[in-house]
Amino acid sequence: MKPEELLNKYFDGETTCEEERELRHFFAQEKIPPGLMIYRPLFAYIENEATLHKEAPNKKKQKRSFVRDITYTLGGVAATLLLVFAIAGINRHFYRADINEVWIDGVRYTEQTIVHQQATSAFEDVSFSREDIFNVLFED
Amino acid sequence: MELKQFKTVVLPLRDRLIGYALKLTGNEDDAEDVVQEVMLKLWNIREKLNEYRSVESLAVTMTHNLSMDVWRRRRPSMALNGITVREHSDTPEQILEGLDEMQLMHAIIASLPPLQQTIIRMKDIEEYETEEIAEITGCKPEAIRSNLSRARRKVRDIYLKSIQERNRRN
């Protein structure tokens, strides 16, 4: 459709949004028939306002997404820490349940034979022979 | 509030508002324009409508105020102690002074009646189709086209007058 016809349609309120965009692009061109130059400021103004309108919600979205990012990041860190502590707690619980351990003089032993030897040796240190018992009982 | 909810909550009020506006303005076209404007104003604040206790009371108040505006506009001048007081409106010459093209366009559109301003803004700047505006206001697309056409022609006429005046001065 010719620009003049489209322009008439515009002033009759009959144009679609697509046709109005077409008009705005036409009037944004450098070379326009002299008879139509008079309409250039109108469409330049509308184009400018439409662009500002489109940009406005994006700015709002950007601001909102920054706040959302911070919230998600902090939430993520908190969730990770919680998970680490939870796993550590569960691990410790199962670890203790499955493995027997003995601490002797600040050293941890888990091997049964060594623990047995250490225990026997400790018992020997504190045990009494028959002779010792006899001496204790009949000591003057 | 989305269009679906708007159509359920707000549009059913239309007939009652038309009746009220008709009672106040005594003219069917004016009543239709008033309710169109009320619907568009409500649509533009749709995200805040849930904050109101009663959307219906709000719509009725808006209809009342806009009908009063119509009633006042019908009396552009009135004799007051022998002095004629005219309703304030900028002439193209006043609009023209000291403005560049963009400012001039802005001033011309701002000088339109509120309903025409809203329709031109929704159609040309926010890029609503005429049918969408008709759906929001609950009126026929022809009624929207008619108001849109009046608004655009008025902008064109004021602009052409302003330019002629500028050329005449230079």
Closest-CA residue of chain B to A54: B126
Residues A48-63, mean pLDDT to the nearest whole number = 73
> Is A45 in Cβ contact with B126 (below 8 Å)?
no
User: Chain B residues with CB-CB distance to A under 8 A?
Assistant: 101-102, 104-106, 109, 123-130, 144-149, 152-153, 155-156, 159-160, 163
Record: contact B102-A44, CB cut-off 8 A: yes
Mutate one of B127, B128, B147, B154 to test the A interface: name it (highest A CB count within 10 A): B127
pLDDT band at B77 (very low <50, low <70, confident <90, very high): very low
Amino acid at B87: E
> What pLDDT, on a 0 to 100 scale, did the predictor assign at position B60?
93
For residue B159, the chain A residues in CB contact (below 8 A) are 38, 41-42
**DSSP of B93-160, one letter per residue?**
HHHHTT--HHHHHHHHHHTS-HHHHHHHIIIIIS---HHHHHHHHTS-HHHHHHHHHHHHHHHHHHHH
Chain A residues whose CB is inside 8 A of the B110 CB are none
Name the burial class of residue B161, with classes exposed (0-12), middle (13-18) and buried (19+) by CB atoms within 10 angstroms of its CB. middle
**Which of A14, A45, A50 lies closest to B127 in CB terms?**
A50
Could you tell me if B111 and B95 are in contact, meaning their C-beta atoms sit under 8 angstroms apart?
A: yes
Burial of A43 (0-12, 13-18, 19+ CB in 10 A): buried
Q: Tell whether the model's pLDDT for residue A52 goes beyond 70.
A: yes
The mean-pLDDT minimum among A12-16, B24-28, B35-39 falls in B24-28
Q: Tens digit of pLDDT for each residue in A77-97?
A: 888 888 888 888 777 766 655
Mutate which: A11, A16, A36, A47, vs B, most B CBs within 10 A:
A11
Give residue B83's pLDDT: 38
C-alpha distances (whole Å) from A53 to each of A20, B116, B122 are 16, 18, 11
Contact B124 A16 (CB under 8 A): no
Distance from CA of A63 to the nearest CA of B (A): 18
What pTM was estimated for this model as a whole?
0.61
